[in-house]
Structure 1
Amino acid sequence: MRYIVFFIDSLSKGAGTERITVDVANALVQRGFVVSFVLLNESTDSFFTLNSRIQIYSLYSSFSQRGKSIVALRKFLKVHKPDYLVNVAFQMAIISIWACIGLNCKIVTWEHFFLKAGSVWGYLMRLVSAIFSYRQVVLTKTDRLNYPVILRRKILCIPNFTRLNSSKIHSKLTSKIVLSVGRLDACKGFDLLIEAWKAVIAVHPDWSLKIIGEGDDREELNALISASNLSDSVSILFPTKDILSFYLNSSLYVLSSRFESFGLVLIEAKSCGLPIVAFDCPCGPQNIVKDGIDGLLVKSEDVKALSDGISYLLSNEKIRKKMASSAVIDFEINWSEEAVLTMWRKLFV
């Protein structure tokens, strides 16, 4: 059976990229593949539970020690001889492309941000990784079409899936809690959500907003909550391994991102039977949320549109429940583990 190595900076963070990477690795092992992780970070701890058959190795290096990383990775590859090396983001490709020269190991770069996200340097490096990789995996059909035509034969669209709610228990939609999950940085737009919540809470004073995540903007966001006199209705919580309970105890999910390459949290919310209000930002939400059916897509970065969308669903319990039912059906049809793993298996055969 094929031997797959995932190359990632660290597994200690409790974020979406780490979660889906662990889920894919575990699913591949259960289907007979041999899987290992190689980390730059010296810590081999994983925030999410890994299958006991998966080995974790560290290069005891960092991005700033690129030469050391290349040498250490090349040494590992010569000894272990994997069939495929999966870069978890283009940053890892900058190291692995050099480390794999002359070796019989196919490079797959799994890009978790869309092509035009971030800086010009990031855009160019994603193109470079696509050129030198055997295949580059992106998360949406929209993003695949962003790549130059000459490269598209190498670009595969494999969406994310989630194992979060394997028991298929759904929210009863009885709590007056709105949930949002993600890194606490500018990309996720929690500052916009907090601004929007001012108008929501004026109409729905008995509802609360829970934000779960970690990141550099925690203090700034807490200060914004305090300055906006929202401390009684808005709380920012640290990541937890029991995130499922928060989904199941909420009645609405909100995504306020300025851009979102996929939006793993959206399919997690659907799997738990939550209706969604999301900014129609580039480029993930439009591929997941069916506007007016299982949620609402509102104009990107429009705070009033976001608050209006949230308030509309909080005021309409019947519509909220109908959208929740549609969300569950869509999840089962389009975002199941088996459907997505079929794509990964085809890539590695």
Structure 2
Amino acid sequence: MSLQLLTDRMKFAFFIKSLVFPGGGAERVFCGVVNGLSDRGHDCVVVTFDDGQEEFFYQLHSSIEIERLSASTPGRSTPRRNLPRIMKSTRKIAQRYKPDAAVAFMHSTYVPVAFAFAGTGVPLVVSEHTSAAHYSGRPLQRRLARVAQQMAYAKTVVSTQVYEEHPKSWRKNLHVLANPVDLTEYAAAQRNFPSDGLILCLGGLRPEKDQLTLISAFDRVASEFPEWRLRLVGDGTERPAIEARIAQSQYRSRIELPGVIRDVAGEYAKASIVAMPSRYESLGLVAIEAMASGRPVVGFADCAGAATLIQHGVNGLLAEAGVDRARSLAESLRTLMADRGLCIAMGMRAPPTIQHYSIDAIVGQWEGLLLAAATSRANVPALDGRKNELVGKPEGHGG
């Protein structure tokens, strides 16, 4: 690829199901990548399935064009009856904008977009933001995701661990592009470690995030540390179950459930420990942000998104799931809650371990992949089967 090409102004189309539903990590990544490419001089259009009435939760630059298909309700599955209309509208947008390349985030979006783009000649990159565990027991979703990948120029995943979950025969057009974070946004918290004890869990209230186990773990240690609180920031389908579980806890007055909060950097600044109890994650954006803030992170060793980022004993602790997840998590929390000096030391060691997730570095990798796709002008895999030939994998990842 020539140096001249790397400086050319290109037009990219980005597709995502919703930017209205509050607090999504993949949605935050999406906006960061699109804004970053716009900052580099590229023309970007964003297409969502949202209607035109609700405000986006995350901000896009004013120069970015927006199309809304009014085909889905935020936080709910897209009705199957709407899929033909989505594909027809998507195809018309491709024909009208004539993008040099396109990107679709998450399988709920990239599957219909891949079918809509078939035969248009516009190279499509499909971007996965979950792990193989999501597809367990969902064979149809898994098959459709595979077909979409075959139709695309490339597929991205967010970690080497997720890459290696794919069968070798699926890796010919597979790339690792990690979730980026604006590290400067969180750096201020490194200067002040809070004196009071707060365990923060930030993320959607969904079954795979497993906040229920975290509440049970807190119940096991709360009597030993009466000054500590637990704060669960986010919203989602599990909220009623979580509210009911909190009501059952004898420590309910010390468990906070404030909903979605835009100032996530401020939340990390108030925390002493960040807990990530997820059963599965592709890559823990929360963990990266917490480490950028100088906070230790506790997660489970069997969760790829946690194990990718947490270096046990260095920037946090990895609990072994075992038979009793709550007990194992409680033991890890107890280790840090009992030793403020250890919390501070791990927090200080955390920022250098995630520098390669900077927004500039990852947007540069996205730009490289999309410029390569634009030169292909064909909706087929075209990287000679070599892993990350053009964009590479984030520094520090093995595999």
Give the TM bin, normalised by the shorter chain. over 0.9
TM-score under structure 2 length normalisation: 0.84
Taking the aligned partners of 2:265 and 2:110, their CA distance within structure 1 comes to 33
Other-structure match for 1:277: 298
1:120 and 2:143 matched: no
Q: Is the 8 A contact 2:186 2:289 kept in 1?
A: no
Q: Deviations over 1:39-58 (max 9, x none)?
A: 11213621011111111101
- For residues 1-349 of structure 1, the aligned pairs below 5 Å read 1-13=9-21, 14-43=23-52, 45-62=55-72, 63-64=78-79, 65-118=82-135, 119-163=138-182, 165-166=184-185, 168-171=187-190, 172-174=192-194, 175-300=196-321, 302-332=325-355, 334-349=356-371
Taking the aligned partners of 2:133 and 2:316, their CA distance within structure 1 comes to 26
Q: Deviations over 1:156-211 (max 9, x none)?
A: 00111112642620242223111001111111000000000011211111100100
Q: Deviations over 1:280-309 (max 9, x none)?
A: 233111111111100001113621110111
Higher-RCO chain (CA-CA 8 Å, sequence separation at least 6): 2
Matched position secondary structure for 1:177: strand
Other-structure match for 2:390: none
Letter aligned with residue 323 of structure 1 = M
Q: Is the 8 A contact 1:71 1:99 kept in 2?
A: yes
Taking the aligned partners of 2:327 and 2:15, their CA distance within structure 1 comes to 41
Letter aligned with residue 164 of structure 2 = L
Q: Deviations over 1:225-261 (max 9, x none)?
A: 1112222111111111112111111111000011111
RMSD: 1.5
Letter aligned with residue 23 of structure 1 = G
Q: Is the 8 A contact 1:189 1:257 kept in 2?
A: yes
Matched position secondary structure for 2:253: coil
Taking the aligned partners of 1:21 and 1:164, their CA distance within structure 2 comes to 16
- Total equivalences in the alignment: 348
Q: Is the 8 A contact 2:158 2:283 kept in 1?
A: yes
TM-score under structure 1 length normalisation: 0.96
Matched position secondary structure for 1:211: strand
What is the CA distance between 1:94 and its match in structure 2? 2.2
Paired-residue identity, %: 25
What is the CA distance between 1:310 and its match in structure 2? 0.6
Q: Deviations over 1:99-124 (max 9, x none)?
A: 21221211111100013424223322
Taking the aligned partners of 2:340 and 2:243, their CA distance within structure 1 comes to 30
Q: Deviations over 1:302-344 (max 9, x none)?
A: 2111011111101112211111011111122x22122212211
Matched position secondary structure for 1:226: helix
Deviation beyond 3 Å, 4+ runs, structure 1: none
Q: Is the 8 A contact 2:104 2:110 kept in 1?
A: yes
Letter aligned with residue 283 of structure 1 = A
Letter aligned with residue 130 of structure 1 = Q
Structure 2: stretches of 5+ with no match in the other structure: 1-8, 73-77, 372-399
